[in-house]
Amino acid sequence: MYRKSRGYAANQPRSHGLKVVLLLVLLGAAAAGWFFLWPDRSAAVAPLIREIATTHNLAPSLVLAVVHQESGFDADARGRVGEVGLMQITKGAATDWAEKNGREIPTTAMMFSPRTNLTIGCWYLARARNRWRTREDGVILALYEYNAGASRVFDWLEHSQDLKLVEDVPILSSRAYIKKILALQAFYLQDAQAP
């Protein structure tokens, strides 16, 4: 029996290994293409990001990190639950921005405009940062709010006043999001200081 099974397997075509190799080559080529296109995507919107971030008293490196994570610098990006554009703005965030600033609520089409999207996204992030500015964990809380919403942050703080470390964030996906943003911010901060 052993010999028969072995013989059967030995007589099978070796196409499985070839398929795996071809798949790896294709994935590698796609990743390399993405890597080389990424700087072009960010370079196209980086000056606008810096301008609008500065207007809202946000570190451009932080906003670059958020845009990188949220949309990969794709102004036409769409999220799973209706978020759109560079900063993945929701209709609710756009409505809040419009009401607080005496503006017309932007249509979804308007929210794809990089300037409009960044203006609303930076306003929303700055509002979150300002809400938590007196706390040592303010940046973590602001990013948590940007990712999961203010109500989740308030609910969490109702049960625990201590959110000094990213590891204290109760939602695993938000914890991973915050870690990624902080790492990307460090990258963009270092990149901005390079000669």
For residue range 60-76, list pLDDT tens digits in order. Answer: 999 999 999 999 999 99
Task: Give yes or no for residue 32 having a pLDDT over 80.
Answer: no
For residue range 107-130, list pLDDT tens digits in order. Answer: 999 999 999 999 999 999 999 999
Residue 46: what pLDDT? Answer: 94
Domains and CATH numbers, the chain: 39-193 (1.10.530.10)
Q: How close are the terminal C-alpha atoms of the chain, in Å?
A: 69
Residue 143: what pLDDT? Answer: 96
- pLDDT band, residue 18 (cuts 50/70/90): low
Q: What is the average pLDDT score of the chain?
A: 83
* pTM confidence score: 0.77
User: Which of residues 59 and 14 earns the better pLDDT score?
Assistant: 59
Residue 155: what pLDDT? Answer: 87
Three-state secondary-structure class, residue 69: helix
Task: For helices 114-131 and 91-101, give the axis angle rounded to 10 degrees.
Answer: 80
Residue 157: what pLDDT? Answer: 83
User: Which of residues 164 and 79 earns the better pLDDT score?
Assistant: 79
Phi, then psi, of 87 in degrees rounded to 5 = -105, 10
Task: Give yes or no for residue 45 having a pLDDT over 50.
Answer: yes
- The whole-number average pLDDT for the span 155-183 is 81
Q: Are 55 and 122 in contact (CB under 8 A)?
A: yes
Q: Are 113 and 89 in contact (CB under 8 A)?
A: no
Three-state secondary-structure class, residue 47: helix
- pLDDT band, residue 82 (cuts 50/70/90): very high
User: Which of residues 79 and 170 earns the better pLDDT score?
Assistant: 79
Residue 150: what pLDDT? Answer: 94
**Least confidently predicted of 9-13, 17-21, 164-168:** 9-13
For residue range 128-144, list pLDDT tens digits in order. Answer: 999 999 988 889 999 99
- The whole-number average pLDDT for the span 166-194 is 85
Three state DSSP letters for the chain: CHHHHHHHHHCCCCHHHHHHHHHHHHHHHHHHHHHHHHHHHHHHHHHHHHHHHHHCCCCHHHHHHHHHHHHCCCCCCECCCCCECCCCECHHHHHHHHHHHCCCCCCHHHHCCHHHHHHHHHHHHHHHHHHCCCCCCHHHHHHHHHHHCHHHHHHHHHHCCCCCCHHHCCCHHHHHHHHHHHHHHHHHHHHHHCC
